[in-house]
Amino acid sequence: MSRTNADFTLRSFIDQVEAEDPDAVWRIRDEVNLDNDVTAVAMELERLGRSPVLWFDAVAGYSMPVVCNLFGNRRRYALGLGVPTERLIRDWGILGDRRIAPVMRERGPIHDVVVTGKDVDLSTLPIMLHFDCDAGRYITNGIVIAKDPDTGVRNASFHRMQVKGPNRLGTSLHSRRHLWTYMQRSEERGEDAPVTIILGGHPTVTFGGLWKGPITTDEYEVIGGMMGTPLEIAPGITVPVEAPIHAEIVIEGRILANVREPEGPFAEFTGYASKRSTEHVIEVTAIMHRKDALYHDIIPGISDEHTSLLAVPQEARLLRMLHTHYPNVTDVAYPKSGTCRLHAYISVHRPAPGLARLVAAAALGDDLSLKLVVVVDDDVDVHNDSDVLWAMATRMQADQDIDILRNGMGAILDPSNRDGLTAKMIIDATRPSKDFPDRHTLDQAAVARAQGLIEGKFGRTA
C-alpha cells in the first residue's frame, strides 16, 4: 500500500515509535515550567543513559503540548527513513540522492489556525529558555525555507532563533552556507529575504533541513525523495515561499536587509555559551498551525539530541565521499566526546602503508570543522570511544604516527579557534606491521548463547 503525506507527520511518527516500543515515548502529565524544566528532564534522563521521546502535556501557561528528544536515539533516525539501524549511515546517502518533486495544494491542516498582521504574537507559542546562559527564549527546531533570489530553488536549513518581540526574531547564519549566500545577494539589491519557518514535521523534513549538497538542488525534492512520495506544499499566506501542509506550526516572515541586532549568547553543541552571531533579524508576518498542534523542540547545547543531529548526516556524507576514493574505508563516526563536529574516527580494511594519512587528509579537506581525525583498522568500533582509545594506546607511537597542520580554517563556533583558524591533527592508529599481534576475540556462537541467557534473566539490553 502506497503511503500518503498524512503518514509522514510528527504525530504519526511518534505513534510508530510507541508501537515499536511503548517505553520509547514518555507522556508527562505533571505540570512543568516552560523555562528550564523541559531541558532539565531531558538532560537528567541522558545522564542516566535513557533517551525516550518526551511529550509534555501540561506546560504551565500554555495549552499546546511540547515534544522533544525525538532524535535522542539513532534507532529513531533509521525508523524515520524506514531502513535497518545498521544500514542508517549508508542508506542515508542513497536516499538523499533520490529526487521527487513536491506537489502543490491549496490548503491543509497547517491552515487550521492562521494569524497575520498586528495579531501576530510569538509569545502564544511555548518557545522556551533552555539554559541559564541563553540570552532569551529560543526556537531550536526552526527549519528555514528560502528561495535562491536568482533561480527560485528552495533551500532548507536549521538556524537558532531568539525571540526579540511579538513579531521579531534574531538569528545567526553562521553556517555560511546557502542561506548566507542568498542573503548576501539580496542585501546587495537592498531586498529582504522572504522565508517560511517549519516547526514540527516528520523526521524526513528534519533530514531535508540537514542535507548538504549543491546550491542548485531544491531541498523539497530531497525531502520527497527521502519520503518516497511527493511532499505536499501550499503557497505562503504573506510571503512567496511554500510550506508543507502537514507541518505542526509554520512561521512566515522576512530576513531584513542590512539590519543587525545583538543575538545570543546561546548554548551551542560545543558545551559552551556562544556569543558568535551574524546578528540577522527576522520580521514575522504570519503564524499558522494545526488546531491540535504540537510544539516540537530540540534540546540544544551538548545534548545527545543536538549532537547526533550534527553527527548522523555528516557521517553519511563523509563515508560516501571517502568510500568513493578509498573503497576499503568501512565506517566513519563523529564522537560526542568531540562534540559530534570537531573529531572524526575512520576505520579502514587492511590499509596500505601511508593510506591512513591520505584518508585523514581527505576528511580534513572535506569538512573544515574537523580538528582531529583518527584512523583505525576495521576490527575497531569507531562508534565506541574506548575502542578507539585502546587502538591509540596499543598501535600508535606519538613520534611517528601524529601529524599536525597549523593554521587551517576551522569551525567558527569552536571557542578555541583563533580568528577562524585552528590546528588540525591526524593520528594513524592502524596496525604498524603485518606481523603485529592479533586481537583476542570471542567465539560468536558463544556470544549469541550468552546474550540469550542474559536476556532471559534481565530482558533485552539494547
pLDDT in tens, 112-164: 999 999 999 999 999 999 999 999 999 999 999 999 999 999 999 999 999 99
Helices (H), 66-215: 74-81, 88-96, 178-188, 203-210
Q: Which range is least confidently modeled, 53-57, 100-104, 226-230, 409-413?
A: 409-413
Q: How far apart are CA 68 and CA 53, in angstroms?
A: 6
Distance CA 458, CA 19 (A): 22
Q: Look at residue 1 in the predicted model and tell me its pLDDT.
A: 55
Q: How far is CA 58 from CA 22, 37, 67, 157, 374, in A?
A: 20, 12, 11, 30, 46
460 pLDDT band, cuts 50/70/90, is low
Task: Write the CB contacts of 402 (distance below 8 Å, at least 6 apart in sequence).
Answer: 396, 425, 426, 427, 428
The per-residue pLDDT for range 48-85, each reduced to its tens digit, is 989 999 999 999 999 999 999 999 999 999 999 999 99
* pLDDT band at 29; cut points 50, 70, 90: very high
Rounded Cα distance, 431 and 458, in Å: 38
Q: Fill in the DSSP letter of residue 436.
A: P
User: 366: pLDDT confidence band, cut at 50, 70 and 90?
Assistant: very high
Match domain 326-428 to its CATH number in 3.90.226.10, 3.60.20.10, 3.40.1670.10, 1.20.120.1200.
3.40.1670.10
What residue segments make up the domains of the chain, in order of their start? 5-304, 326-428
Output the CA torsion sign for 151, 152, 157, 162. positive
pLDDT at residue 377, as a whole number: 97
Average pLDDT over residues 247-269: 95
Tell me what percent of the chain is helix, strand and coil, each rounded to the nearest 5: 35, 25, 45
What's the pLDDT tens digit per position in 313-356?
A: 999 999 999 999 999 999 999 999 999 999 999 999 999 999 99
**Mean pLDDT of all residues in 256-274:** 92
CATH architecture of 5-304: Roll (2.30)
**How confident is the model at residue 426, as a pLDDT?**
98
Instruction: Tell me what pLDDT residue 412 has.
Output: 82
Domains 5-304 and 326-428 share a fold: no
What pTM, to 2 d.p., does this model score?
Answer: 0.90
d(CA 17, CA 321): 31
- CA 311 – CA 31 distance, rounded (Å): 33
**Residue 176 above 80 pLDDT?**
no
Cross-sheet strand order for the sheet of 243-244: 103-104, 232-234, 243-244
- What does the mean pLDDT of the chain come to? 93
410-437 per-position pLDDT tens digit? 888 888 888 889 999 999 999 988 789 8
Place 461 in a pLDDT band, splitting at 50, 70 and 90.
low
pLDDT at 195 over 80: yes
Beta bridge partners of 424: 405
Stretch 207-234: mean pLDDT, rounded?
93
Confidence of residue 175 (pLDDT cuts 50, 70, 90): low
User: What average pLDDT does the segment 273-290 reach?
Assistant: 95
DSSP-assigned letter for residue 100: -
Does residue 450 carry a pLDDT above 80? yes
Q: In this structure, which amino acid lies at residue 230? A: P
SS3 for 288? Answer: strand
